[in-house]
Amino acid sequence: MNAHEADDKIVLEASHIKKRFNLEAGFFANYGKFVYAVNDVSFSIGKNQTYGLVGESGCGKTTTARMIVGMYKTDSGIISYKGSDTAKFSRAELKDYREKVKYIFQDPARSLNPRMNIYQVLTSGWRWSAHWQNHQVAKEQAAAILEETGLSADDLYRHPAEFSGGQRQRISIARALIMQPEVLICDEVVSALDVSIQGQILNLLQDLREKRKLSYLFITHDLKIACYFCDRIGVMYRGCLMEEADAADLYKTAAHPYTQLLFESAQSFGTKTSGEVKTNIEELSGCPFAHRCPRATERCSKQMPPLADISKTGKPHLIRCFEAAE
């Protein structure tokens, strides 16, 4: 199996998930005004497949990922793991799910405890799992995984501050791998790194995917990276999925004005669109992109376009746009 082939078996699926947050924070804040962060998002990830969520900051990518691992509860919709609704898991099933679906954060400097040495960082969560045996086995496993991620077994008793940004991200990956997961959620894992280091981390993740048959949810704002690394890509804007297609074809067949805008921005071309990402403080009634779209009509501002399949090749190509779907 090569880097861009995937088993058809669905490992993780989000179906019509939604999330809103109270607009005002604090104990005495009024309840009733909300930020609508994720609005009816659906996608699935197959075994040994990488699914990319792409969009500008504030579009709902990270909120979506955090609902999947249970950091946030969904307001509605279903998150399924191997066909089972995670909201109905027993305590034991939920514990197993959290071991099998691991989250890698954007900034390793903030996600690694500076007071712990690397052995403690890697094994602190593992100690409470059913797979824990003893410290000797843990030390051997931690050393092996450090070497697998490109570091040395001699680094076990050093501290995070002694490593570079790229090395700390390797430690974060090793911490996730020690639980023997099946799915890794990678939240902007290369955005804070130099370009040369980005390539090394992406190649490491690709190698690990092939070796361990992992599935990835890969979150990024960079469409170029997503097209290189992912099998399928979902483009998000204002909490909605605007377009979804195979990564190998999207740069040639992008049909939504927002996806085209992202490609133009990645190539440093000028754009005919203007405006900023608007915060959703009311439920969307029209197209989320209508306020920036040069092709928007009156219907776009009043009706939410459905996700329509415009594919002519048999591979699903979904788009939320009246004009492009007609």
Residue 31 has pLDDT above 80, yes or no: no
What stretch of H or E contains 37?
Answer: strand 34-46
Q: Where are the domains of the chain?
A: 10-115+181-325
Instruction: Average the pLDDT over each of 69-78, 179-188, 280-289 and give the range with the smallest value.
Output: 280-289
- Tell me the pLDDT band of 7, cut-offs 50, 70 and 90: very low
- Tell me the pLDDT band of 110, cut-offs 50, 70 and 90: confident
Q: Which fold has domain 10-115+181-325?
A: Rossmann fold (3.40.50)
The region, left, alpha or beta by phi > 0 then psi within -120 to 50, assigned to residue 224 is alpha
> What is the Cα–Cα distance from 247 to 4, expressed in whole angstroms?
9
154-167: per-residue pLDDT in tens? Answer: 999 999 999 999 99
> What is the Cα–Cα distance from 163 to 172, expressed in whole angstroms?
12
Interior angle at CA 176, CA 170 and CA 181, nearest 5: 135
Residues 6+ apart with CB under 8 A from 87: 74, 78, 79
81-99: per-residue pLDDT in tens? Answer: 999 999 999 999 999 999 9
177: which 2 tokens?
Answer: 């791998």
φ, ψ (nearest 5 deg) of residue 324: -70, -25
